[in-house]
A and B are shown apart, each in its own frame.
Chain A
């Protein structure tokens, strides 16, 4: 009798104790359980790029380190850049991790966790046939940009300026991604494009006989953000925690160094 009471109460206590950590850990609002479905453009070196059929890059490594801390699996979803925010708002992806610039318009619909600081630079064809030294000189020439990017907005602002100053019309070639814009530059359909400093450096490294950088870097305090839907604060906080964890243990700095980004890119 005594033994039975003791063993029963022991079982009850053990069960109560073991259920405590489970209660403290509410499941994350993920689209697919156990996986972080993250949307990315897939062709934006060095953040994400295809190599031998696999996607590699700064963002890929960052995600893998973070999901390891969260006990999840990485499930990338490759979407055209302009489709990333609609996909996030339509709950088809959990997060946007595609070197997305944080700006006021996007922050109205997306919650960002800043994770890197970069600047922009102009890329031209090798030999710089038009002797372009700055974006303002592009009036009367052709600028390639991907739809939905900040580069497209810059191009549109520049086009308006060119109209006002009467220096000639800026022709904007609107394409689906920065990689296609680089191809257009290579083929002579465009005279220049703008991308982040790491990207243009990666493009020059990949094809040194096709491209060269020109002019100074600008907008050097642009922040890249991990994007989350506004109603998924629990997920955002969990990822934030994981990010801080990988900063603390040095993984973040290591990935920055691996992809040749300057130390000034680090936000932590």
Chain B
């Protein structure tokens, strides 16, 4: 019958416009969901320090719900159940909504661990300098926390790139759906799935390189000695607190 594997066919798919566009869709959905997740994470992680019990309870409830149910369930819920409440979002809207909210839950925990990792000495020193709680969070804690959480966030972005494959079930034209549709015409699943696999590998590899670059850049700025840059950056003179 037909050969098991046709390299020409696979190369054809690899450089076709269809797959390239689908890969772009995968990237933008992953980016959008990750960004939404980071914003939610930052907000809620900071929100967990608020004195209000209701706010903290609400955040705990959100975390419980979105980390306790499968992403696929949240996705199908957004796609099939929300319309019953007259919220009909297009497929990619549902994708970013479900993935973003799910990511936000995990990001909250990541941010919280990052914030916690910033030594209490920093906060004490900041308070001694006369900074308010909000200023401490914004200028002292969060910048240092963000540097600490770069590896976990890179990890999440890597996971998100692959999690985006789930949105194929709600009809978003991303890599996996493109592979499925192409194969459904000529049944060459090996070539189409290998092509999709190569694209995913390429994207995650590029991401890993970018992450390594960012980590190195941040550690370089931190300096060889804390005295050299850390204090200079946050010196009272710089913060305009010395009259």
Contacts and interface: CB of A to CB of B under 8 A. Distances in A.
Interface of A: 82, 85-86, 89, 105, 109, 147-148, 152-153, 173-176, 183-184, 187-189, 230
A86 B189 contact: yes
Interface stretch (B46-54, B177-185, B221-229): B177-185
B28 to A, nearest CB: 18
Given A188-B83, A189-B88, A174 B181 contact: yes
Interface residues of B, number: 20
Contacts of A184: 171
A89 B187 contact: yes
B80 A187 contact: yes
A105 B171 contact: no
A174 B187 contact: no
Contact of A174 (B84, B173, B183, B189): B173
B91 A173 contact: yes
Nearest to B177: A174
B1 interface: yes
A230 B1 contact: yes
Nearest to B186: A105
Interface of B: 1, 80, 83-84, 88, 90-91, 169-171, 173, 177, 180-181, 183-187, 189
A230 B187 CA distance: 14
Contact of A173 (B84, B171, B185, B187): B171
B170 A147 contact: no
5 closest pairs, A vs B, by CB?
Answer: A148-B184, A187-B83, A174-B171, A173-B171, A175-B171
Contacts of A188: 83, 88
B185 A153 contact: yes
Contacts of B187: 85-86, 89, 105, 109
B180 A82 contact: yes
Report whether over half of chain A's contact residues are helix, strand or loop; otherwise say mixed.
helix
Contacts of A173: 91, 171
A152 B183 CA distance: 13
B86 to A, nearest CB: 10
B185 A105 contact: yes
14 contacts: A85-B187, A86-B187, A105-B185, A105-B187, A109-B187, A147-B184, A148-B181, A174-B181, A183-B80, A184-B171, A187-B88, A189-B88, A189-B90, A230-B1
Contacts of B91: 173, 189
Contacts of B189: 86
Contact of B181 (A105, A152, A189): A152
Contacts of B169: 175-176
Report whether over half of chain B's contact residues are helix, strand or loop; otherwise say mixed.
helix
B177 A147 contact: yes
A153 B184 CA distance: 9
Nearest to A144: B171
Contacts of A109: 1, 187
Between B88, B177, B181, the greatest number of chain A beta carbons within 10 A of the residue's beta carbon is seen for B181
Contacts of B181: 147-148, 152, 174
Contacts of A147: 177, 180-181, 184
Contact of A148 (B80, B83, B171, B180): B180
A176 B167 CA distance: 11
Contacts of B180: 82, 147-148
Contacts of B84: 187
A147 B90 CA distance: 18
B204 to A, nearest CB: 25
Between A82, A85, A89, A187, the greatest number of chain B beta carbons within 10 A of the residue's beta carbon is seen for A187
Given A105-B185, A188-B88, 10 more contacts: A82-B183, A82-B184, A85-B187, A89-B187, A109-B187, A152-B181, A173-B171, A184-B171, A187-B80, A187-B84
Contact of B184 (A89, A152, A183, A230): A152
B136 to A, nearest CB: 47
A153 B171 CA distance: 15
Contacts of A176: 169
Nearest to A180: B80
A189 B84 CA distance: 12
A189 B184 contact: no
Contacts of A183: 80
A105 B84 CA distance: 39
Contacts of B80: 183, 187
A184 B83 CA distance: 10
B220 to A, nearest CB: 47
